[in-house]
């Protein structure tokens, strides 16, 4: 597989996907604080862009599949790329998660399912974010 989109286009996709994920969590928290479930309709816009950007930048390019592939199916260069992306991603994930939990504690908010699902998705997509952001050529298709 070779990334056919330009580096700048991939970076825009990463930023767009991350901003939408963040907006989903923030909007949910704001709606919960105002206690007005009718405002949940506003979640549809960032959710729609999030899903579309995921399919364009991670589904179609195969990055999601690549970052979840067994090590037995990767060559040495791909293993090094995956290892580098995982090390960076899990460091960043730990910092983001601990920061969010500290903010929630300081603000007196309860951790909710939307945040937990978003963090779970983030843990899985961060390696693809890293590879999409940095790599010129990923791998050749099997």
- Spatial contact of 68 and 108, defined as CB atoms under 8 Å apart: no
Q: CB count, 10 Å around CB of 55?
A: 12
Model pTM score: 0.82
| In the chain, % of residues over pLDDT 90 | 42
pLDDT at 141 over 80: no
Band (65; pLDDT cuts 50, 70, 90): confident
Band (139; pLDDT cuts 50, 70, 90): very low
């Amino acid at each position: 597989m070779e990334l056919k989109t330009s580096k700048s286009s991939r970076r825009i996709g990463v930023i767009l996907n991350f901003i939408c994920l963040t907006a989903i969590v923030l909007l949910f928290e704001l709606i919960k604080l105002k206690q007005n479930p009718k405002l949940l309709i506003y979640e549809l816009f960032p959710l729609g862009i999030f899903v579309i950007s995921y399919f364009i930048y991670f589904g179609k390019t195969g990055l999601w599949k690549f970052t979840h592939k067994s090590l037995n199916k990767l060559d040495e260069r791909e293993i090094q790329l995956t290892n580098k992306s995982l090390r960076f991603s899990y460091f960043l994930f730990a910092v983001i998660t601990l920061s969010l939990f500290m903010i929630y504690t300081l603000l007196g908010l309860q951790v909710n399912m939307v945040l937990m699902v978003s963090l779970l998705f983030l843990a899985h997509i961060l390696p693809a974010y890293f590879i999409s952001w940095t790599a010129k050529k990923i791998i050749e298709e099997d």
